[in-house]
Amino acid sequence: MSKSIKRIAVFTSGGDAPGMNAAVRAVVRTAGYYDLHVYGIYEGYEGMIQGKIKRLDNSDVANIIHAGGTRLKTARSEEFRKPEGREMAYDTLMAHEIDACVAIGGNGTYTGAKIFTETYDIPFVGIPGTIDNDIYGTDYTIGFDTAINTAVEAIDKIRDTADSHNRLFFIEVMGRHAGYIALHTGIGTGAGFIFLPETDTDLEYFVKQLQRSTRRKKLFNMVVVAEGNKNGNAMDIAAYLEKNHNILSKVTIIGHLQRGGSPSAFDRVLASRLGYNAVKALLEGHTNVALGIENGKNKLTPFEEAISTQKELNQDLIKMSEILSL
């Protein structure tokens, strides 16, 4: 255990994700167990620059494990991208005698931490907090499970109307660059088709699948579309079908509904494990690494590797989703 670390700062950055509060809670309580002082940085890197820092103790994180969003708030920071901004952030940390930081967020958060630690000698460890589940080095990110459960619940409700009127529905879920939400939501709802950013689906092939299902008198009325799909968003695909094949459909965009809400039990446990492990990692002397859990075991991945390595979709899951939709 390193004796040089006495004060730890924790912050959330980038898009909010259900379970971030549970992670902050775990950091604060674990640090307290090891007799460390903990400081919360409000509004991410921007708050680090502006000095929005407050001492936290156990009472500050009571009754937040179930809360969605982030009590520490989050913000984008253009200033932190500049050397002058990072210097101001460093001065702020030094003024509060911060010895190490726990950064909770996604790839953008990790990139900021990596660049900062290359210049300043303050250990940083990262906790993966994003609903997209697109961070390399961990099977799941905080917020992903809650997001897909929210999407599944919404689609189950839409299905009632789709079945009642025998209508074709396109449901758009989040995922600009990664199709994890779309794939898991599509499987969980028994969708007839799933459009993913990672696959280049020919729309005429999709039309043939629709026609094939009609001939077999198979009810084909739910299609899940990731917002970053290469064929366009759900509105684009629906417009193509109407213009070229006179196929009418309805479109529902779930949008930011997926980010909110109370975290699932899975996300609460995951966030608690990662927050606990973050403090231990710092005390063991680790820095410039992202925490994760793979195959049930703790894992540390250098920021550089976590940022530069693309996390691939499970191809067997994709194949399974195709077979089960037949």
Q: pLDDT (tens digit, 9 = 90+) per residue, 221-232?
A: 889 999 999 888
Does residue 320 fall inside a structural domain?
no
The active-site residue, picked from 16, 99, 132, 267, is 132
Show the CA angle centred on residue 73, arms to residues 11 and 138, nearest 5°: 50
In terms of domains, do 89 and 183 share one? no
In terms of domains, do 171 and 202 share one? yes
Residue 158: which CATH number?
3.40.50.460
Total number of residues shown for the chain: 326
Residue 43: which CATH number?
3.40.50.450
Does residue 108 fall inside a structural domain?
yes
Structure tokens at 143: 């917020």
Mean pLDDT of the chain: 93
Show the CA angle centred on residue 237, arms to residues 205 and 193, nearest 5°: 55
Does residue 321 fall inside a structural domain?
no
Residue 218 — pLDDT band, cuts 50, 70, 90?
Answer: low
Element containing residue 105 per DSSP (H, E): strand 100-105
In terms of domains, do 248 and 275 share one? no
Last residue of a domain, one of 222, 240, 260: 260
Structure tokens at 7: 């004060």
Distance (Å, whole) CA 194 – CA 184: 10
In terms of domains, do 130 and 165 share one? no
In terms of domains, do 178 and 221 share one? yes
Q: Return the beta strands (E) in 165-278 as ranges.
A: 169-173, 193-195, 222-226, 250-253
Total count of domains within the chain? 2
Does residue 318 fall inside a structural domain?
no
The string of pLDDT tens digits covering residues 95-116 is 999 999 999 999 999 999 999 9
The pLDDT of residue 27 is above 70: yes
Residue written as tokens 């994709």? 318
In terms of domains, do 44 and 17 share one? yes
Whether residue 16 lies in the annotated active site:
no
With beta carbons less than 8 A apart as the criterion, state whether 80 and 119 touch: no
Which residues span the domain enclosing 184? 145-260
Does residue 323 fall inside a structural domain?
no
- What is the pTM assigned to this prediction? 0.93
Does residue 251 fall inside a structural domain?
yes
Number of separate helices (H) and strands (E) present in the chain = 11, 11
The string of pLDDT tens digits covering residues 265-297 is 999 999 999 999 999 999 999 999 999 999 999
In terms of domains, do 212 and 151 share one? yes
Does residue 322 fall inside a structural domain?
no
In terms of domains, do 197 and 79 share one? no
